[in-house]
Amino acid sequence: MYASLKSIGSYVPEKVMSNADFEKIVDTSDEWIVQRTGIKNRRIAAPNQTTSDMGALAAKKAIERSGLDKDDIDLVICATLSPDHLCMPSTACLISDKVGIRDVMAFDVSAACSGFVYILSIAKAFIESGAKKNILLVGAEKISSLVDYTDRGTCILFGDGAGAAIISATEDKNEAIIDVHASADGKYSDLLITPGCGSTYPCSADMMEKKLQYIKMAGNEVFKVAVRTLTRDVVDILKTNEIKSEDVDLFIPHQANLRIIEAVRNKLKFSKEKTVFTVGKYGNTSAASIPMAMSDAYEEGRLKKGDLMLLDTFGGGFTWASALIRFGGN
């Protein structure tokens, strides 16, 4: 039995925040942001809109496109670094409720921007073992709730949104998830971190005054490790599976920074036509970035049944992951 990615859906909030909007709140410019990141706009969730609200809307679209009924889903996994609640209930439980999925296992995975590819690997294992048949995966983020809008080094990078996919059992190898590599190295944990609100610095007035509840990033150092790791990861997964880069139909990298994507794309010699770019319009949406990019490619008619997709991602932890997938949807 193989695991097949049958459908993809996404949701983006209505509100657009442009570089011009950031010029009004921090010392920055459209020129600096575009030159250093390639980002022009990002979407920002409404104050009363939660990560699970967005995740549920993306999930409904993915279920509809799969042709399945919500009652066919037997596992729900959500990847997020901005859950509705810090400890419990999980965002996956809330998404299940909002979609109307009852009495099935539901849990969250914390792997920052690599979260979606991590849960893809978990879904693949559940399906191949025969334990589950139809799994709903969601990557959803309200990162605007974790961003310090006075820190120009981070606030311009992030946006909100959600993407979802249905992974189903199949006997057809030509529509299967071929391989997923996922890994981590905690020695870099301080370079990209939300220090507060956990057991190290529990919620307190002092912690809030020090702004430890927000994302802190040593951008330049993260940048260098990201380019190195993303490139090595792709070389590894292609080599392991004896697949040449020219055989890949669509390269879908994590959308953190256009310069990172371009550095990796040029090293690996993927053409622009074969690469998906959404960072300019959505910014970095962390665990939602890859499924949102896949969904955009699908909606633009760039993804057909049997096409070979290569996913590649990197994030806080550090975590990283890549996947080779033959698309199983229509």
The token duo for 41 is 């706009």
User: Minimum distance from CB of 257 to ligand ACO (Å)?
Assistant: 4
Angstrom distance (rounded) from CA 251 to CA 229: 16
85 catalytic residue (yes or no): no
User: Minimum distance from CB of 82 to ligand ACO (Å)?
Assistant: 10
Contact residues: ligand ACO, CB under 6 A = 28, 32-33, 36-37, 112-113, 152-153, 156, 192, 219-220, 222-223, 226, 256-257, 260, 284, 286, 314-316
Angstrom distance (rounded) from CA 251 to CA 4: 18
Instruction: Kindly list the distances between the CA atom of residue 81 and the CA atoms of 108, 221, 247, 258, 275, in Å, as whole numbers in the listed order.
Output: 10, 21, 33, 22, 26
* Active-site residue, selected from the candidate residues 19, 134, 257, 284: 284
Phi-psi region of 98 (alpha: psi -120 to 50; beta: other; left: phi over 0): alpha
User: Minimum distance from CB of 328 to ligand ACO (Å)?
Assistant: 28
Q: Which is nearer to ligand ACO, 29 or 240 (CB)?
A: 29
284 catalytic residue (yes or no): yes
CA angle 48, 120, 99 (to 5 degrees): 40
Are the C-beta atoms of 129 and 255 separated by less than 8 Å?
A: no
Neighbours of 12 (CB within 10 A): 26
User: Minimum distance from CB of 32 to ligand ACO (Å)?
Assistant: 4
CA angle 231, 318, 33 (to 5 degrees): 70
* Active-site residue, selected from the candidate residues 93, 113, 155, 197: 113
Q: Which is nearer to ligand ACO, 163 or 316 (CB)?
A: 316
Q: Which is nearer to ligand ACO, 168 or 322 (CB)?
A: 322
Angstrom distance (rounded) from CA 106 to CA 99: 12
Helix H or strand E encompassing 275 = none
Q: Which is nearer to ligand ACO, 93 or 156 (CB)?
A: 156
* Active-site residue, selected from the candidate residues 93, 155, 197, 254: 254
Q: Which is nearer to ligand ACO, 116 or 314 (CB)?
A: 314
Are the C-beta atoms of 249 and 243 separated by less than 8 Å?
A: no
β-bridge pairing 177-184 and 134-141: unpaired
User: Minimum distance from CB of 112 to ligand ACO (Å)?
Assistant: 4
Angstrom distance (rounded) from CA 41 to CA 24: 14
User: Minimum distance from CB of 233 to ligand ACO (Å)?
Assistant: 14
Angstrom distance (rounded) from CA 166 to CA 136: 5
Q: Which is nearer to ligand ACO, 73 or 260 (CB)?
A: 260
Burial 186-223 (b: 16+ CB within 10 A, else e): eebeebbbbbbbeeebeeeeebeeeebbbbbbeeeebb
User: Minimum distance from CB of 58 to ligand ACO (Å)?
Assistant: 19
Q: Which is nearer to ligand ACO, 51 or 286 (CB)?
A: 286
The residues annotated with a catalytic role in the active site are: 113, 254, 284
